[in-house]
Structure 1
Amino acid sequence: LARKVATTLSGDPLTKKDLATCYTRGDWLNDEIINSYLALIVDYLRRTNHNAGRHDKPRFHAFNSFFFSNLRDKGYESVARWAKRAKIGGPLLLDVDTVYIPVHNNQHWTLVVVRPGERSIEHFDSLGALSRRHIAVVKTWLRGELGPQYVEEEWRVLPSLSPQQDNGSDCGVFLLSTAKAVAIGLEPLSYGAADTPLLRRKIVAELMAGGLEGGFDPAQGGQALL
C-alpha cells in the first residue's frame, strides 16, 4: 500500500509518491497534487474574504482536473451538475469572484481563470500556446450554465501573460504558482523558471501543513510566492 504522508482538505490521502512528483524536478505534477493545492488556494481565499461559513454562498471555486476533459470530450451535459453541487450553479455563478479550471491536454498543464462577476476569462499557458480552443470549451460551459443570462458580448477574454517554463516538466508548477499569484493579488510574471525548485518545495510544504501560509504582501513581488 502507498504510504500516506498528508491529508487533503476533503480527507483524501496524499502519498509519498504523490508528493515526490512535486519535489523532484523533472517530474510532472499528478492530478492529486494539482487538485489538492487548488483546494488550499480556494480555502485560503474563502477564509481571508470572510466567505468560509457553512451558509455563505461560495465566491471562489476550483473544479478538479477532470472537469475540463469531460466538458471538452463529452459536452456540457457531462458536467451539468458540477457547479450546482458546488453551490454556484445557474444564476448564482454570476456572484462568484473566481473559478479556477485546471486543464490537462497532451501531457501539458495549463490554467483557465474565470471571473464571472467581471465577465472575464483568462488562460495561462507556460508554453505560450494559443488558447482559443480552450476558451471556446469554457464558453460552452458558461452558455450551458447561465442559459439566457449568458450574453456573449459581455464577456471579455483577457490577454494573459504567463511566465514561461524552460523544460518539459514544470507546467504543473506554473499552473499552481500562477493560481496562487492570482489569489494573493500578484502579477504572475513576478516569478519565473529559475524559481521552480523553490516553488516545488513550497507547494510540498503547504500541502503537508494543510494550508497556505497567509499574510502575503504583493509588494514583495515574486518573493511572496516563495
Structure 2
Amino acid sequence: MGALTDSRKRVSADHRLHPSFPPSPPPPSKRTKLAPLLPVSSPPPLHYASPSSAAPGPSSSAAAAAATASTSSHSSLPHPRRRLPPAPPISRPIHGPQRVRRSFRGGNSRPNSNPPWYSPSPPPKPLGLDQYADLVYSVTHPPRPTPAVHVPRGTEAIPEVVMVDDNEDIRQDKEDEQDVEEEAKAKVVGRKVPLYKELYEKSSRQRDARLRTLEFEVQLAEKGRLGLERLAEVLPRITPNKEEVPEPFVPLTDEDEDNVRHALGGRKRSETLSVHEASNIVITREILQCLNDKEWLNDEVINLYLELLKERELREPNKFLKCHFFNTFFYKKLINGGYDYKSVRRWTTKRKLGYNLIDCDKIFVPIHKDVHWCLAVINIKEKKFQYLDSLGYMDMKALRILAKYLVDEVKDKSGKQIDVHAWKQEGVQNLPLQENGWDCGMFMLKYIDFYSRDMELVFGQKHMSYFRRRTAKEILDLKAG
C-alpha cells in the first residue's frame, strides 16, 4: 500500500474539519463479525449556505427546519458496513532479526553451506619447526611451581608522586639550545685550519683504513688459496674407496620406486606387507605409511630397521663396526621407577646375543620423549657417552644413567669392575639438524646407520625424503643396504 503524500493528507484533513462533512463511521471491531453489504439509498444532496443568507430570516429558518428533518430521517437509517478485503502478502523481507529454525541439525544460518556430515574435516596441518621445538621443550621441561611469598599487611609500597614543572623543562631546553649555538659559533670563530682541509684529511684517514682492511683480506685469501692447493695434493691419498662413499645415497631403481609408491599409497591398510620372523614383527600397510612425508615414525618400523642393521653387520662383519642395537622399549624399561637394572638384566645374556655387550664397538640406545626421538651412544671404542638430538638439545641425565648401566652390566656378566669416570659425556658437535616438526625419527635412524658404518654424518634435511623411501624399500625387502 502506498503512503499518502503531504497534499493528500492536507486535503483529507480539510474535508474532515469542514462542518458540513459527514463524520466517518467508527472502525469495525475485530470481535464483531462483519455483516454483508446492505443496499443503501443515496443520501440527499447537501445544501451549503451562501454568504448573503448569513442573517436569520423566516425563509432561512424554514430551510433550516427542513434540513434538520431530512438529517434526522437520514440518521435513523443504519450505516452500511463493508467486508474488508484480505491483507495482501508482504512483498519484501522484514528488516529485523529472524529466528533460524533447527530440527535435527537440518537448519543453518548460511543456507548454502552443506551439512557437517557432507563436509569432511580438512587434514590437520603439520607442526612447524618452531612449534615442534616448543612442544618438545614443554614436555621435557615442565614448569616448576612458584613459591608463595608472605607479604605482611601494611608493608605494601606506596607509589611516590613526583610533581613535574613544565616551565622548568622549557627553560632548560632553551639554555641547552643556547649552549649549542655558542659552541658552534666558537668553533667557527676559533678555527685555524680551513674547513675543506679538515674534510679532506678526514676522508684520507677513512680511505687509508679501508685500504689496510682490503690489504689484509687479500693476504688472508692468498693464504686460503695456498691451503686449498696443498689439500688438493693430499686429498687423493686420504679419500676412501669411491664404492663406499655413495653407498648410503644409491638412488632407487624405477621398479623400487613403483613398489614403494604402491606400498605407501594402497587402499587396504590392514594388508600385511612384510613379516620378520626372527623378531616376530609384522608390518602392515597402515604401519608402513608412517614413512610417508610429514609423518612421525612408529616403534614397529624403527625396531625392524634396527634388526635389519644387525643382520647387515653379520653378513659383512669386515665392512661394518661391531654394534648392538637396543630397541625402543629398552630405555623406558631401564628408567622405570628411576633406575631398575634388574628389569633389563636378562636382555643381554650371551646365550641370547651370542656375544658380550662389552665386546662391541658401539651400543645404540633409542630414546623416546613422548613426542620426540633422540639417540644415546655408548661408544666403547672411543670411551665416550654421546647424545644426539636433531633439535640440538642435551640430556646429561640420560648419559649418567647409561654410564651406571654399563658398570652394572659388566659386573653382572663378567664379574669385573669397570671405571667410567674418565669417559667423556658429550653432545655431538656439528650435528645435522631437522628443519621441520616430523623428521626426528628419520634423523635418529640415519645417525645409527652412518655411525655403524664408521662414517661422518654427511647428510641433511634435503635427504630425508629419499631416506624415507629407501627405508620403506629395505623393510619390504627385509634387507638393509
Tell me if both proteins adopt one fold, taking TM over 0.5 as the criterion: yes
Shift of 1:11: 4.1
Aligned-residue offset at 1:2: 2.6
CA distance in 1, matches of 2:313, 2:385: 19
What is the root-mean-square deviation of aligned Cα atoms in Å?
2.1
Give the secondary-structure state (helix, strand or coil) at the position aligned to 2:270: coil
Residue of structure 1 in register with 2:440 after alignment? 171
Matches within 5 A, 1:24-103: 24-49=292-317, 59-74=322-337, 75-84=340-349, 85-88=352-355, 92-103=356-367
- Larger RCO: 1 or 2 (CA < 8 Å, sep 6+): 1
1:115: how far off?
Answer: 2.6
More strand by share: 1
Q: 1:1-226 counterparts in 2 under 5 A? A: 2-8=270-276, 9-22=278-291, 24-49=292-317, 59-74=322-337, 75-84=340-349, 85-88=352-355, 92-147=356-411, 148-161=416-429, 162-188=431-457, 190-213=458-481
Matching residue's letter, 2:474 = E
Residues 155-199 of structure 1, C-alpha deviation per residue, up to 9 Å, x if partnerless? 2224413211111211100011111111223211x1111211111
Distance 1:184 1:152 in 2: 25
* Largest Rg, 1 or 2: 2
Write the distance in 2 (CA, Å) between the matches of 1:68 and 1:29.
18
TM-score of the aligned structures, taking structure 1 as reference length: 0.81
Q: Aligned partner of 1:146: which letter?
A: V
CA distance in 2, matches of 1:123, 1:10: 27
Residue 140 of structure 1 deviates from its aligned partner by: 2.4
Output one character per residue of 1:66-114: Cα deviation in whole Å (capped at 9) or x when no partner.
Answer: 00011122421211111114344xxx32211221111101311111122
Q: Distance in 1 between matches of 2:381 and 2:455?
A: 19
Cα distance between partner residues in 2 of 1:37 and 1:104: 16
Superposition misfits of 4+ residues, deviation over 6 angstroms:
none
TM-score normalised by structure 2 residue count: 0.40
C-alpha distance in structure 1 between counterparts of 2:454 and 2:328, whole Å: 23
Q: Which runs of 5+ in 1 are unaligned?
A: 52-57, 214-226
Contact 2:387 2:394 in 1 (8 A): no
Work out the CA distance in 1 between the residues paired with 2:381 and 2:451: 15
CA distance in 2, matches of 1:181, 1:129: 20
CA contact (8 A) 1:71 1:79 kept: yes
Aligned counterparts of 1:156 and 1:86: Cα–Cα separation in 2 = 27
Equivalent pairs, count: 202
Q: Secondary structure at the match of 1:73?
A: coil
Identity of aligned residues (%): 28
2:305–2:480 CA contact under 8 A, matched in 1: no
Partner of 1:216: none
User: How many angstroms apart in 1 are the aligned matches of 2:384 and 2:392?
Assistant: 19
Q: 1:83 to 1:117 in 2, by over 3 A?
A: farther
Q: Matched residue of 2:479: which SS? A: coil
Q: What is the SS of the residue equivalent to 1:80?
A: helix
- Residues 27 and 165 (structure 1 numbering): CA distance in 2 closer, same or farther, change over 3 Å? same
SS of equivalent to 2:335: helix
Q: Partners in 2 of 1:80 and 1:166 — Cα distance? A: 38
